Structure 1
Amino acid sequence: MSSDNISPVVTLNHIQKVFQTEDIETHALSDISFQIQPGEYVSITGPSGCGKSTLLSLLGLLDHPNGGSYLLGGTDTQTLNHRQQAAHRNQMIGFVFQSFNLISDLTVEENVMLPLTYRTGLSGQAIKQATHAALEQVSLQHRQRHFPAQLSGGQQQRVAIARAIVGQPALLLADEPTGNLDSKNAESVMALFDQLNASGVTICMVTHDPRSASRATRRIDMFDGMIIDDRQTPAHQSRPGGRDVLSS
């Protein structure tokens, strides 16, 4: 199929986001427009307060713009009601957070399968199979009966990644995914992101870490709620690493 016939995963057109209080009006995002194509690996960078986390919240349908349009998988998200947006988010998006956000009294397996329990038409067997496949992708199938507190920080983040990809989302959103990790575990997680993208997963990652940003194939720089640069990175031509550095 020609690439001309492939629809973007994300299309943002002139997005505006304003936070208003009685005393002040803050323009968090100003005239944001870009697309993310299937299979891209995009990093969004910039100083604290530049709007990158606000942008990620809008991409994840966790917040709404004051102006402009957002098409996710070709669907205008502003035409969807709250329930429809939640269903579309569940089908289209996987999330990876800095703080892992695992449920402490659920096992690894139960945490990973959780997003699929909100989908209709899936049998218990299908959910189990998808869960085990996701855990194999992050090399943690042998930890499926453990609880989050029994895992290292790096292992917990890999569980969170398995949870994010278990439903085969069109878009993986990551918010500072290495922010709570030491350098060794951060490298392990970023190598896993490389592998996921090489297998076709579309990734959009917010990060302040230039080493993490350099792993992406495209970098969007923000400042004061605006995009100041959008470019391909050296990783677009040659991805770093390539070896499996996941630890047990």
Structure 2
Amino acid sequence: MDVNLDPFYDELEVAMKESLSLMSEGGNVLDIGCGKGWLTRFLYNNVNGNVIGIDRDRANIDDCRNNADNLPIEYKVMDMDNLTSNDFLNSYSFITCHNVLGYISDPSEQLHKIYSWLQPEGLFSLVVRTPYGRFAEVYERSKSVDLALIRYKEMRMYGSFGDAFEFYHLPDLKRMIEVAGFSIIKSQGLYPLEKYLPLGNEILKNILLESNSDEYFFQWILCKKS
């Protein structure tokens, strides 16, 4: 069973358009972990400014350039873990980091870096996968409550290349964001489990008794540099 993420991108596009309306005209935009370049192309078409995408995977950057349709977007092979605060000091009015924070070895440190790279009043868009979504996904695939519960409690998953991905509960993530200096403008769930992973969501709620379970596969958080 493959999860259909098309609805997630549709929901994210709506959320991003709302956030871009809060952004000042012009300026530089940085997409951290740009993947295949969907978000950078979206940003270029909706922001009156320069867009830069970085990713540690050269194959991803090559795909970005091939898919850019001659748009003047700058792509660079860069690993977030290897960058310092001085690399982009106060350079950007808007930074996005979508489904990347979990791969970063020290997320608190990276959030402080991102804060330093933003101009005063700059915006930061963060998307993370939820541990609850991981539980629901594992259950939909395996139909095993025990396996889904193990994966949920591990709070991490491993990619095809052995890279680890950490999950964070929303209250813990918000605390990290605020400690880094950001003000949280908006927090919104994307891709409701009840609609797209109904079996896993039902089992999840029964196990956790709905006391602290999230109802979404992803969380989107919009922040501002105070």
Verify same fold: TM over 0.5. no
Structure 1 or 2: larger helix share? 2
TM-score normalized by the length of structure 2: 0.33
Greater RCO, CA 8 A, separation 6+? 1
